[in-house]
Structure 1
């Protein structure tokens, strides 16, 4: 299969963990929710199981998940997610727009295919299927269609096999495709919020408004075809307008608080100077123009909280795995899809989440796309949306919107 297995075409079954494990043992007589799904033709992925939902009556288990060794004291299972899958289960290649990611492998092994943010144009990003905080690639990265996506050959692939007891740090906006390579895999992850997320929420609100407006107008009765199953929130234009306004307001509240914080630091510094103290031994306060701060031009370089034990992943020429089987996934349910269909990976709408600045590369990609089929003149809604809500475009729109709002204030 040369196209990604997206979740919008999955079938769903509701099952217990015991039923999943029984089915996964490939027993000949299977009853219950998996009776119609031959284990040799399907794979399972029960992901996005939030600890806080799974163990709301056993909150003491939250303390068993400890992220303090990675610079996050107090962070535990309450801010974590549990992932369970069978051999062959995988997520389509995507990037998370919010935060960075820590992944702890508990059981089995998972192979991660990673691509840096700078290679985004080579991954052919799309927002259909739509899900807040997820930008998908149009490419099946383990079996790419290079005739249709010729720029993908320029993408740099980093591969790592995560084994039990290991933790993987996925930096902000790194593309990843993840596949289970053992019969049962269990992982725990936590998304780490970043200051950049404040503007990203504005960008995501713009994307939501445009996607929902155009796709709903195109076919108001068939949202399942383009809306990921986890994206269950109201999609009306009125609600999305409120969402955008809340995101902008939250960004300005955050920037105002940063101005107050910096002013307090300056006041403290001045007081210390008056007392004849050597301020530079205690703190360094960057001279920042308040207007620049309000316009969002400040970038703070925070020291990495992660320890010295991180092992860098190098560019790999490892042979790609063979084509996998089908899928079912779960979020309280399990999703099933037949081999040859296009089921896929589950993402969460509540998740807290760079695009290449090389416009020449983008132009080259567009030119190569158009040269492949010069006689094809039909432009679909999705084609238009791929341009309108390209992450680079929404970033520019968000910056203009924020700048305009600051001038109105």
Structure 2
């Protein structure tokens, strides 16, 4: 009795628990929640903040009734563990209703319907990036079921949210979002999150190929890493957490994340929160998009004078330029294979010097920002351990090390920490032309296997190889700073 009487109004009942009116009190006011979100520089889980949200009851079955047979697109991937990430470009797509998805998900031997070509035991399905504003265009009233104003963002609701529906094994490759921070509400089922801090970016081997606006991908499959080709990944600080229904995960700006569904059906709702730093990020994204599109689009041979110096009299088609680049690279490797004086190590040393110079290019604003973040992080950490109590769970690095076996990874599970008693913004997302690839399992296996082939450094240089270097986030950041500096003169 003494322990029970010591509970203050700050404590809450577990979501869905019946009790007298007034007993459900949220642990953080909207103002306090926003303060935490804007200052905290590590992932954390908010507990007992959404028990009164109508969206709390949006199971897949309920949504299938709300959508009235509306077809949505599902991404289909293989349930296989490969060392190569399974990017969207290696997946197939199926247009189906939620009811058809649930039927396929329950009947593992279904031989009819849109999922008939996909063996449930070998494939997963994921309806991701489904924006409320287009998904529920005929039911705008449903927007009010998501109440982000409880986290200090007045007026933000489902209109600025995205829906994710997946089957067991559905996942997104490891990536970071260029814009904002992220709030993720888990509605049904559980998801396992693998998170890595921004300072580990060099260890994640970032790439913009395949290109997606505002997403920087990792070349590594973080749940089955190829440490032979990506040895630096062993230095990364993995943070692993299982997100349970009724919890809200906060993902700070530029934190890497790999997300996988670990229950038969999972539903999540998220919203990207705008930040001051997004202004520079949008410049970087525009530069990246421009370069990718320029190199991926055939040049008009009649319109070269605007950018080509008159001394360049040779043919300038993309095909010829690729051939020229490959001859230069081949000559480079030929030279260093036969030279007894100069070694490749000399090139590596030059690269290290270049990295040091790149660090010096960082603007004064970036330094001030880092200082502010560090100070804020220290303050929040101290406050979190002293007064936030069990309703804010800070996600710490795993104790087993970054390259642990998947089954051996320590996980923070929200259920273990829940108390025993108890301006308009969306992520810019360009519609991507997703072409349907072969639906057969054989084709999918071949696609995945072809990605796994190890290519020697002196192999043919493709446009993607060149783009991978040109639109590297570090390079793009320098280009953006130079561009802004040039326009400020």
TM-score grouping bracket, smaller chain normalisation: 0.5 to 0.7
2 CA distance for matches of 1:175 and 1:296? 20
Q: Which runs of no fewer than 5 residues in structure 1 stay unpaired?
A: 219-292, 323-329, 344-371
Partner of 2:209, secondary structure, is coil
Alignment of 1:130-279 (within 5 A): 130-217=211-298
Misfit runs of 4+, over 6 Å: 293-298, 330-337, 372-375
How far 1:342 sits from its partner (Å)?
5.6
What TM-score comes out, normalization by structure 2 length? 0.56
Q: Are 2:449 and 1:340 equivalent residues in the alignment? A: no
- Shift in CA distance, 10/20, structure 1 to aligned 2, threshold 3 Å: same
2 CA distance for matches of 1:148 and 1:88? 25
Is this contact kept in 2: 1:94–1:177, CA < 8 A? yes
Q: State the partner residue of 2:393.
A: 311
Q: Are 2:160 and 1:55 equivalent residues in the alignment? A: no
Q: State the partner residue of 2:111.
A: 30
How far 1:320 sits from its partner (Å)?
4.6
2 CA distance for matches of 1:192 and 1:375? 41
Instruction: For residues 236-256 of structure 1, give each alpha carbon's deviation from its aligned partner in whole angstroms, at most 9, with x where no partner exists.
Output: xxxxxxxxxxxxxxxxxxxxx
Aligned with 1:120 (options 178, 201, 211): 201
2 CA distance for matches of 1:388 and 1:4? 21
Q: State the partner residue of 1:12.
A: 93
Is this contact kept in 1: 2:238–2:398, CA < 8 A? yes
How many pairs align?
Answer: 297
2 CA distance for matches of 1:311 and 1:331? 39
Partner of 1:46, secondary structure, is strand
Partner of 1:127, secondary structure, is strand
2 CA distance for matches of 1:108 and 1:19? 19
Instruction: For residues 102-125 of structure 1, give each alpha carbon's deviation from its aligned partner in whole angstroms, at most 9, with x where no partner exists.
Output: 000000000000011101111111
Is this contact kept in 1: 2:117–2:440, CA < 8 A? no
How far 1:377 sits from its partner (Å)?
5.2
How far 1:333 sits from its partner (Å)?
11
Q: Are 2:172 and 1:91 equivalent residues in the alignment? A: yes
1 CA distance for matches of 2:368 and 2:254? 19
Is this contact kept in 2: 1:96–1:133, CA < 8 A? yes
Instruction: For residues 141-191 of structure 1, give each alpha carbon's deviation from its aligned partner in whole angstroms, at most 9, with x where no partner exists.
Output: 111111111111111100000000011000000000000000000000000
What TM-score comes out, normalization by structure 1 length? 0.66
How far 1:386 sits from its partner (Å)?
2.0
1 CA distance for matches of 2:199 and 2:433? 32
Q: What's the Cα RMSD here?
A: 3.1
- Shift in CA distance, 120/397, structure 1 to aligned 2, threshold 3 Å: same
2 CA distance for matches of 1:176 and 1:43? 19
2 CA distance for matches of 1:333 and 1:299? 41
How far 1:31 sits from its partner (Å)?
1.2
- Shift in CA distance, 298/320, structure 1 to aligned 2, threshold 3 Å: same
Greater shift in the superposed pair: 190-199 or 63-72: 63-72
Q: State the partner residue of 2:318.
A: none
Q: State the partner residue of 1:104.
A: 185
- Shift in CA distance, 196/17, structure 1 to aligned 2, threshold 3 Å: same
Q: Which structure has the greater CA radius of gyration?
A: 2
Aligned with 1:383 (options 447, 454, 465): 465
Partner of 2:212, secondary structure, is coil
- Shift in CA distance, 53/404, structure 1 to aligned 2, threshold 3 Å: same
2 CA distance for matches of 1:402 and 1:56? 39
How far 1:375 sits from its partner (Å)?
6.3
Q: State the partner residue of 2:485.
A: 403
Partner of 1:13, secondary structure, is strand
